[in-house]
A and B are shown apart, each in its own frame.
Chain A
Amino acid sequence: MIYQGKQKIWADYQKEIPDNHWFYVRSCIRQNFFPASEKYFLAICRDQLGRDIYESEHHTTCAGIAYHCDTIPQETAMTVVARQFALMTEAGYENLVTSCITSFGNYTEILETWRQFPELEEKVREHLWKACRREFKKPKYVAHASDLMYKLRGEIAERAHFQLVHRATGEPLRIVEHIGCHYSKMFPHKGVGGAEYPCVLSGMAESWGGRVIDYPERRHCCGFGFRQYFVKANRGYSLSNTHKKFESMEPYRPDAIITNCPGCPYFLDRWQYVISEMEGKTYGQNGYGIPVLTYEELAGLVLGVDPWNLGLQVHQVAVEPLLDKIGIPYDPARKYLGMDEKKIMTPGLPTSLKCF
């Protein structure tokens, strides 16, 4: 591996990401499964680093999942997105930041389609006016939330409480990055680092002390496949693809995986559980899995946020081995508490995958 070669490619795909004033749209999957990640995106970028990020209570799903499950026509998906643009325009913003990768891909694709076929944009404007009496300006800039955090990675590093370094050996942690397919596979120039060697996540991991490992199936999809997961009969597809990735990364003994897509951390986490149940196989050390984190969770850990406030307890794969490696203190007794430290029942345990 020639590291300089990658740097050369990264240099070709640097995006100009505006520094401030963003209209934020949330992700369906992340709100359900990684609720604290979105909370800490705002807590870090807005509250701690002082960027202006606005959220309207009136925004909705972008309907991207339905669009990619083919349950709605293209014009419906476009008009739902146009409504988000209208909310942004009404709130006085020009830069849009999405929490979801598929939203990011959708917004980007829609703007690109409108550029090529202006008559379609006109039609959608008409639809939106008839349906909602709203008008919109197109965003000047669409970013994914990981782009913004990539841009702020230096500021986060300056405030770091912890480094992504193995406390006992002083070696950088081995980090696998997994980029959501819709981040840059359709439009390589819209992603930091392009489609082949994206550096949006590796840039964060390296700034915070880790070392990113490349493995043969790095670019492969996690296997979500929309209808291939949502329909129970099809989930073998999803499982098989994740399995392929884990088999490929296993020899590199990764300490953690970071992701920027809503679905990927869920699948990379839960399919490890399923593989352990079906085949008794685990990919971490000593019967544990490989912890899968969102970039906000990783940033939160680096900044010294309590792991249970970050929501690391809602992962199926135990994160404690990672916390121990870095030397992040945590209180096992607080892991499964409810609101205001209320004691509630604790989750059941998997048969095979080791948890604390």
Chain B
Amino acid sequence: MDFGFKRSPSSAVNLDTVDHARYDRLVQLEPDALTCIGCGSCSATCTAAPWSGMSVRKVILGLQRGRDDEVDRMLSRCMLCGKCTMVCPRGINTRHLILTLCRLDRKGEVVR
């Protein structure tokens, strides 16, 4: 029966079930990713961010929350200029991290 409206799935991220295989693999290869404090220096300095929405902090967090589509969208718009690496207060080599991440598929397998 069509009632004229539908049920919507919950947007709450359920940490019990969220798939973070790609994140787990990433931190094996780039352990510094673990030390991100989400300060946003990377997004603030990013030349592309104003039109691409690129943000390394959001990429790292998105991987942990199963937001892979968003992560891939952001990654595809990165120009790899490396400016973010210069400003990270935790000294994360963000450019290298992005490159490593681009080599992983969603299950965390190295494919490239």
Interface residues of A (CB under 8 A from B): 232-237, 239-240, 243-244, 274-275, 277-279, 351
Contacts and interface: CB of A to CB of B under 8 A. Distances in A.
A240 B4 contact: no
A320 B1 CA distance: 26
A244 B14 CA distance: 14
B112 interface: no
4 A-B pairs with the lowest CB-CB distances in the bound complex, closest first:
A235-B5, A236-B5, A277-B1, A240-B8
Nearest to A232: B4
Contact of B10 (A236, A244, A277, A279): A244
A240 B10 CA distance: 8
B51 interface: no
Contacts of B10: 240, 244
A247 to B, nearest CB: 10
A239 B5 contact: yes
Interface in B47-82: none
A278 B4 CA distance: 11
A240 B1 contact: no
A179 to B, nearest CB: 22
B38 to A, nearest CB: 28
Interface string B1-32: 10111111110000000000000000000000
5 contacts: A232-B5, A233-B4, A235-B5, A236-B5, A239-B5
Contacts, number: 32
Give the bracket for the number of chain B residues in contact with chain A: under 10
B21 to A, nearest CB: 26
A275 B5 CA distance: 12
B8 A237 contact: yes
A336 B40 CA distance: 65
B5 A233 contact: yes
Contacts of A236: 5-8
B27 to A, nearest CB: 31
Contacts of A233: 4-5
A139 B7 CA distance: 42
Contacts of B5: 232-236, 239
A352 to B, nearest CB: 9
B1 A243 contact: no
Contacts of A237: 8
Nearest to A231: B5
A234 B8 CA distance: 11
A275 B6 CA distance: 10
A274 B3 contact: yes
A292 to B, nearest CB: 19
A243 B4 contact: no
B8 A235 contact: no
Nearest to B2: A278
Contacts of A235: 3-5
